[in-house]
Amino acid sequence: MTALQFDHVTKRFGRFDRQVVALDDVSIQLADHEVLALVGPSGCGKSTLLRAIAGIHPIDEGTIRLGDRVVDDGRVQMPPEKRRVGLVFQEHALFPHLSVTDNVAFGVRDDTAPTRAAEMLDLVGMSEYADRYPHELSGGERQRVALARALAPNPDLMLLDEPFASLDTNLRARVRDDVVAILRSTRTPAVFVTHDQHDALAVGDRIAVMRAGRVVQVAAPDVVFHRPVDRFVASFMGEASYVPVAAASDVVGLADELTALTEPEATDRTLMLRPDDIVLEHGDGAVVEHAEFRGTVWCYTVRLANGAAVKSLRNHLEPVQVGSSVQARLRPGHHPVVLDA
């Protein structure tokens, strides 16, 4: 069963000369129980996509289905309150004048509300805070209450828009992992918007990368990271070096030795290399130009014989000197990706 399906969805804002195409022919699917992380730079359309699902923004073209129900076909929209989706936003919008329990019970419209609120507060570990008011909670606690409130009506799908952006780094990872564990334990499918690739890699069963209103790649986290479809996705998902190569066959002929690469006269292809895929060994052919301490590792910038610079991570117990000659190799077994430049 498919939890969510977008077929050729387009959404425009504004008119004529000032028109913005926020969603441009987007087609994606979400399987039951799946958590999809939606990433992309600011303004690429992530929030618009979420709001289109929720029914806040009607679409112009295409079809949105939730389960087997068409909720928007560009002409007729199902009202937001009938869509059975739960929303958690960055600003966690709790009602300030309602207690934690009343906030969570708010969306349950029958007499099960008090029991359901108690169950949900137990699920998110907030039972002890049931009688408090939102201003008496920390940011992380408010975020859990917001999650409990969104889950209380038993939605078919959860939509989370940058839900942890207001939390500091340490708390953020913990609350994020808790929230995803809760979504998984309740088997609630979710679309999770973030502009942070670490969050996306950590939480998504799959990741959808957006750019300028389009979905450019949807795949499992390791595929998006190691097999990006283009340089935009490669750069957005993490640090990488790009080395020009004339043809894919150059890579095969490398014998894993980057120092053997010669500069092609003109090329429209590049080798994408993540810093953990390059190892430095004793030898010649490359020079260590810069060292950056990153706590658990050092990141070295190494200039290859062909003039390209690559980055390489190395354990802090195996330092190399800036200025020294080294040989740069691909980590054994690694098959690098060749992208259009």
**Residue bearing tokens 């990006």:** 228
Q: Residue 14 interacts with ligand ATP (CB under 6 A)?
A: yes
Which two structure tokens, joined as six digits, stand for 135? 């201003």
Min CB(209)–ligand ATP separation in Å: 11
13 is a site residue for ligand ATP (CB under 6 A):
yes
Asked if residue 310 lies in contact with residue 254, where contact means CB atoms within 8 angstroms, the answer is no
Q: Is 82 left (phi over 0), alpha (psi -120 to 50) or beta?
A: alpha
Contact in structure between 236 and 39 (CB atoms under 8 Å): yes
Between 42 and 315, name the residue whose CB sits nearer to ligand ATP: 42
* Contact positions with ligand ATP (CB under 6 A) in 106-165: none
Residue 195: CB minimum distance to ligand ATP, A:
5
Task: Could you list the beta-strand ranges (E) of the chain.
Answer: 2-13, 20-31, 35-39, 61-66, 69-72, 85-89, 157-161, 190-193, 206-211, 214-219, 241-245, 269-273, 278-293, 297-303, 309-315, 325-330, 337-340
What is the footprint of ligand ATP within residues 195-224 (CB under 6 A)?
Answer: 195
Q: How many residues bind ligand ATP (CB under 6 A)?
A: 13
Binding letters toward ligand ATP, positions 27-46, x by CB under 6 A: -------------x-xxxxx
The reply to whether 269 sits near ligand ATP by the rule CB under 6 A is no
Q: In whole angstroms, how large is the CA radius of gyration of the chain? A: 24
To ligand ATP, the closest distance from the beta carbon of 60 in angstroms equals 13
Q: Judged by CB, which is closer to ligand ATP: 14, or 319?
A: 14
- Rounded Cα distance, 295 and 7, in Å: 45
Q: Which is nearer to ligand ATP, 193 or 272 (CB)?
A: 193
Nearer to ligand ATP, 12 or 303 (CB): 12
Maximum Cα interatomic distance, the chain, rounded to a whole number of Å: 76
Question: What residues make contact with ligand ATP under the rule CB under 6 A?
Answer: 13-14, 20, 22, 40, 42-48, 195
